[in-house]
């Protein structure tokens, strides 16, 4: 990471947030989004007719990801990497034979060309250099190795973000970072190409969760380990009048029609392959063996001809 790059996130704070989530009972309630993300990752792996004997999982979800993946993943060597020692310790229960490494910086402890599969789960939305993260994973892959990453993006917590910003602006006249900005699907998908990955695919899965009120939503975020870990966050707790105003605004615009509120979570999935000699490659322009007009059963007109009639 470049020294002059502004720090957006505090990785040590993220680790503490997730350690606390494990102590509060993350598994069984706070891990519901992790389990959904892990199941979606597992589906992608199962759809690939490969064994992936050497694999790494970054962002363990206290074992949610490792438990969802099939036995063929990491059968020879599995590396678990997580900023949270508590999450990492719980993940070892799912795969006790795995190597466990605490992620203390954005520099990843993965040897070049050592992996067949690299998974990054719900981590990239809280690091400063997502492109660098993908580049490091691509370098750790062998040729034709698979990378699957997922992160929060899109309209995740847009209602809460808007309510908190409006409440703080009304009461204090300013705004401090409280909910991390979220990348859009197209922009996040573009990171795959920038990182040098081939055959890139980006897609999005949306989950709508129901809560009694905004305060219950915030408590659930604590159970997830997803409360504010931004470097520029306010160090003091939110004022009670501001919290009450944010809760009212959130209810006004995100009610579920039954006296509760909803929260939207968009999880963006990024899939790409380390370049390899046997991968399909696009044809050079002009090298097609057949004409589109023949395939469609139509008449091809020269450029600029608007008559709609074939030439003699």
Q: Quote the Cα angle for 157-85-51, to 5°.
A: 85
Q: Exposure string (b/e) for 273-296, b if CB count within 10 Å is 16 or more?
A: bbbeeeeeeeeeeeeeeeeeeeee
Q: What pLDDT does residue 180 have?
A: 77
Query: In this structure, what token pair is assigned to residue 269?
Result: 């999935």
Q: What pLDDT does residue 307 have?
A: 46
Distance between terminal CA atoms of the chain?
Answer: 64
Domain ranges for the chain: 11-156+181-207+264-275
The pTM for the full model equals 0.86
Tell me the per-residue pLDDT of 259-302, one tens digit each, with 9 for 90 and over. Answer: 999 999 999 999 999 998 877 665 565 555 555 556 555 555 55
The residues with which 81 forms a beta bridge, in sequence order, are 58, 101
Neighbouring CB atoms inside 10 A of 42's CB total 18
For 11-156+181-207+264-275, the fitting CATH number among 3.40.50.300, 3.90.209.20, 3.65.10.10, 3.40.50.150 is 3.40.50.150
Q: What is the rounded distance in angstroms from the CA atom of residue 270 to the CA atom of residue 293?
A: 35
Q: What pLDDT does residue 278 have?
A: 74
Contacts of 177 (CB under 8 A, 6+ apart): 228, 230, 232, 233
pLDDT under 70: residue ranges of the chain: 1-5, 177, 235, 280-312
Which segments within the chain are labelled E, that is strand?
Answer: 54-58, 77-82, 99-102, 115-121, 141-153, 198-211, 261-273
Q: What pLDDT does residue 297 have?
A: 58
Q: What pLDDT does residue 16 have?
A: 95
Q: What pLDDT does residue 308 have?
A: 44
Q: What pLDDT does residue 312 have?
A: 42
Map tokens 């899965």 to a residue. Answer: 205
Quick one: which of 143, 191, 160, 146 has its CA closest to 265?
160
């Amino acid at each position: 990471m470049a020294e002059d790059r502004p720090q957006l996130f505090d990785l040590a704070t993220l680790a503490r947030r997730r350690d606390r989530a494990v102590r509060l009972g993350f598994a069984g309630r706070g891990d519901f989004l992790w389990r959904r993300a892990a199941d979606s990752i597992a589906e992608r792996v199962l759809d690939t007719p490969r064994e992936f004997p050497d694999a790494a999982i970054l962002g363990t979800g206290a074992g949610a990801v490792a438990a969802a993946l099939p036995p063929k993943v990491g059968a020879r060597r599995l590396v678990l990497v997580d900023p949270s020692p508590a999450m990492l310790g719980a993940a070892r229960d799912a795969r006790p034979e795995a190597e466990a490494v605490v992620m203390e910086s954005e520099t990843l402890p993965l040897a070049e060309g050592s992996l067949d599969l690299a998974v990054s789960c719900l981590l990239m939305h809280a690091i400063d250099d997502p492109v660098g993260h993908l580049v490091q994973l691509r370098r750790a892959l062998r040729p034709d190795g698979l990378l699957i990453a997922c992160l929060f993006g899109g309209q995740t917590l847009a209602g809460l973000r808007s309510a908190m910003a409006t409440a703080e602006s009304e009461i204090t006249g300013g705004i401090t970072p409280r909910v991390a900005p979220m990348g859009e699907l197209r922009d996040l998908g573009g990171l795959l190409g920038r990182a040098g990955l081939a055959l890139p695919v980006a897609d999005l899965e949306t989950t709508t969760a129901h809560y009694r009120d905004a305060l219950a939503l915030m408590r659930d975020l604590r159970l997830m380990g997803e409360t504010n870990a931004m470097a520029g966050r306010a160090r003091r707790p939110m004022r009670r009048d501001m919290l009450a105003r944010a809760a009212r605004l959130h209810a006004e615009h995100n009610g579920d029609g039954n006296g509760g509120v909803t929260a939207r979570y968009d999880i963006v999935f990024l899939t790409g392959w380390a370049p390899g000699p046997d991968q399909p490659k696009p044809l050079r322009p002009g090298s097609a063996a057949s004409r589109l007009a023949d395939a469609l059963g139509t008449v091809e007109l020269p450029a600029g001809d608007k008559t709609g009639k074939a030439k003699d």
